[in-house]
Amino acid sequence: MHELSVTENILEIALKHARVAEATRVTDIHLVIGRLSSIIDDSVQFYWDIISKDTLCAQSRLHFRRVPARILCLNCSEEYDINTELTPCPKCASYKIKVIAGDDFWLESIEIEK
């Protein structure tokens, strides 16, 4: 989708925390992506290499960790994880389900040198 604006946000957050920690260089960026978030890793990496040049994050590595989406069954209150497409409740087979996590995307940590 909008990988450029997403990548700009990652850089902004990483630089903010790197400055607070008085880093001289950021070496690694750890990102967590929910299964239902339509972010394309390669595309983020592509923009990252371009926009992080000349910053503390230059040549840092991006690490993507995908986490499953969490679903709540509105029929029987069962909670379950999905990794691919939306599937009915494993307990009661209902399709009355609600996504309670899995479309978020966050920066978990950075590794720095100082």
Partner 1 sequence: MSIRVPIVEKILHANEQMASVNRSRLDANGVFAINLMAAPGAGKTSLILKTIQALTPGIPIGVIEGDTAPVTIDADKVAAVGMPAVQINTGGDCHLDASMIHTALDALPLKDIQLLIIENVGNLICPAAFDLGSHANVLISAVTEGDDKPYKYPNIYRGIDVLILNKIDLLPYIQFNEAYFRQGVEILNPNITIIPVSCQTGEGIQTWADWLRSRLMKDG
Binding site for partner 1 (CB under 8 A): 1-2, 5-6, 9-10, 12-14, 17-18, 21, 23, 27-28, 31, 36-38, 74, 86, 95-99, 103-114
Q: Rounded CA gap, 41 and 43, in Å?
A: 5
Smallest separation (angstroms) from partner 1 to the CB of 70: 13
Rounded to 10 deg, the angle between the 3-20 and 41-51 helix axes is 60
Per-residue buried b or exposed e for 97-114, using 16+ beta carbons within 10 Å of the residue's own CB = beeebbeebeeeebebee
Q: 86 or 92: whose CB is closer to partner 1? A: 86
Smallest separation (angstroms) from partner 1 to the CB of 73: 10
Smallest separation (angstroms) from partner 1 to the CB of 53: 20
